[in-house]
Amino acid sequence: MENKICQSCGMPMLNKDFGTNKDGSKNSEFCHFCFQDGKFNDEGISLREKIDKNIQIAIRMGMTKEHAKSLAENTIPKLKRWRK
């Protein structure tokens, strides 16, 4: 089985973590923290703001600031939502 990661925040996802489309069906590209009812929960957030937000979340979860910063800055810009 392929490991899925949210294409907005980079969180590893299992089926229970999937977001939802407007019709209530599961969306396997984005997690429920980022995407519900067919829209992004943080619509309008910039890439820099998303990276900073994820760094803070990772630190609260016990990751060092350096590791959180490296992970976020090297992962998030490559995700589907943020690629130009």
3-60 tens-digit pLDDT: 799 999 999 999 999 999 999 999 999 999 999 999 999 999 999 999 999 999 999 9
SS3 5: strand
**pLDDT at site 2:** 58
d(CA 84, CA 62): 31
- pTM equals 0.88
> For residues 34 and 6, is the Cβ–Cβ distance under 8 A?
yes
> Cα-Cα-Cα-Cα dihedral of 14, 74, 46, 12, to 10°?
10
- Residue ranges of the domains in the chain? 4-78
**pLDDT at site 84:** 77
**pLDDT at site 26:** 96
pLDDT at 1 over 60: no
